[in-house]
Amino acid sequence: MTITIVIGAVWGDEGKGKIIDYLATKANAVVRCAGGPNAGHTIVVNGKKSILRLIPSGILHKHITCIIGAGTVIDAKVFQEELDNLKAQDVSYQNRLALSQTAHLIMPYHIEVDKYREEDKNNVKIGTTKKGISPCYEDKVGRRGIRLEDLQELEKAEILAKKNLAYWKNNFSIKTTEEEVVNYLSEASKVLVPFLADTSKQLNDLIDEGKKIILEGAQGSLLDIDYGSYPFVTSSSTTSAGACVGAGIGPNQVKNVIGVLKAYSTRVGTGPLETEIFGEESDRIREIGREYGSVTGRPRRIGWLDLPLLKKVVKLNGINYLAVTKLDVLNNLDVKLCVEYKDGKPVYQSYKWNIDSEVKDWRSLPEDAKSFLRKIEDTVDVSLCLVGFGPERHQTLWLERKVLDGV
Residues in contact with ligand GTP by CB under 6 A are 8, 12-18, 39-42, 44, 218-219, 290, 294, 325-326, 328-329, 388-391
DSSP string, 237-291: --SHHHHHHHHT--GGGEEEEEEEEESEEEE-SSS--TTEE-HHHHHHHHHHTT-
Q: What's the min distance (Å) between Cβ of 332 and ligand IMP?
A: 27
The kind and range of the H/E element at 163 are helix 154-171
Q: Which of 2, 13, 214, 285 binds Mg ion (CB under 5 A)?
A: 13
Q: What's the min distance (Å) between Cβ of 268 and ligand IMP?
A: 4
Sign of the CA dihedral running 112, 114, 115, 120? positive
Contact of residue 391 among ligand GTP, ligand IMP, Mg ion, none (CB under 5-8 Å per partner type): ligand GTP
Is residue 41 part of the annotated active site? The answer reads yes
Q: Are 18 and 388 in contact (CB under 8 A)?
A: yes
Q: What's the min distance (Å) between Cβ of 161 and ligand GTP?
A: 28
Nearest to ligand GTP of 207, 309 (CB atom): 309
Using CB under 6 A as the binding criterion, the count of chain residues that bind ligand IMP stands at 19
Which one is catalytic: 41, 114, 150, 328?
41
Reduce the DSSP state of residue 115 to 3 states and report it: helix
Q: What's the min distance (Å) between Cβ of 330 and ligand IMP?
A: 20
CA distance 287 to 299: 9
Q: What's the min distance (Å) between Cβ of 322 and ligand IMP?
A: 19
Asked if 12 is part of the footprint of ligand IMP (rule: CB under 6 A), the reply reads yes
Q: Are strands 254-262 and 321-325 parallel, antiparallel or unpaired?
A: parallel
Contact of residue 45 among Mg ion, ligand GTP, ligand IMP, none (CB under 5-8 Å per partner type): none
Give alpha helix (H) positions in 318-384.
367-380
Q: Are 127 and 270 in contact (CB under 8 A)?
A: yes
Nearest to ligand IMP of 212, 262 (CB atom): 262
Q: What's the min distance (Å) between Cβ of 391 and Mg ion?
A: 13
x/- mask, ligand IMP, residues 94-133, rule CB under 6 A, reads --------------------------------xxxx-x-x
DSSP string, 208-220: HTT--EEEEEEEE
Which of 36, 73, 76 has its CA nearest to residue 187?
A: 76
Question: Footprint of ligand IMP on residues 238-277 (CB under 6 A)?
Answer: 268-269
Asked if 35 is part of the footprint of Mg ion (rule: CB under 5 A), the reply reads no
Contact of residue 17 among ligand GTP, Mg ion, ligand IMP, none (CB under 5-8 Å per partner type): ligand GTP
For the chain, counts of helices (H) and of strands (E): 12, 18
Asked if 306 is part of the footprint of Mg ion (rule: CB under 5 A), the reply reads no
Nearest to ligand GTP of 41, 301 (CB atom): 41
Which one is catalytic: 13, 21, 150, 224?
13
The kind and range of the H/E element at 324 are strand 321-325
CA distance 250 to 88: 37
Nearest to ligand GTP of 128, 294 (CB atom): 294
CA distance 372 to 349: 9
Q: What's the min distance (Å) between Cβ of 264 and ligand IMP?
A: 15
CA distance 339 to 347: 6
Q: Which residues pair with 8 in a beta bridge?
A: 220, 260
What are the residues binding ligand IMP (CB under 6 A)? 12-13, 38-40, 126-129, 131, 133-134, 219, 223, 232, 234-235, 268-269
Per CB under 5 A, residues contacting Mg ion are: 13, 40, 294
Active-site residue numbers?
A: 13, 41
